[in-house]
Structure 1
Amino acid sequence: MIDNVTIIRAASALGAGFAMIAGIGPGIGQGYAAGKGAEGVGRQPEAKGDIMTTMILGQAIAETTGIYALVVALILLFANPFL
């Protein structure tokens, strides 16, 4: 017989897996931003500092989505509030 704790743990593991899929979006976005940043530096080398600063700031903001997903997954796996 399957009890409620087993169902909650299984659903939490599934939810953690779905949360980690959220890492795909920031990866694609950061790759796109880095490509466009390199393109911009290639077109205007004298603006390298401004382009790189803006690109790194944008990548840091994009990465927060992946970090939040990782935190949610870790909470579901190790500090499950539903148990």
Structure 2
Amino acid sequence: MGISKAFVVSFLLSLFLLQLVQSFQPNQVDNTSTNEYPSTKIDCKGSCAARCKLSKRPNLCNRACGTCCGRCNCVPPGTSGNYESCACYANMTTRGNKKKCP
């Protein structure tokens, strides 16, 4: 019985130490597979101005686009559609489950 207790204690201690070591290392996130969170900041104001230039309500469009761009750091190209190029932007919804981002 003494050997099994020593084994359990040493196992738990090693898990604790492993967690402690991982917490001190900076997170390395590879963003090459998805375009959801690119590593460089984009010009949200310029990108949203281009996205909302044909909108019937440009102020509302720019405000919503700016919020989405700030959170996702991407804006789909063109004035509408093209959501596949920015999954985060496409998946944001309002409280009423409508698309948040124009």
TM-score by length of 1: 0.34
Question: Which structure shows the bigger proportion of residues in helix conformation?
Answer: 1
Bigger radius of gyration, 1 or 2? 2
TM-score by length of 2: 0.31
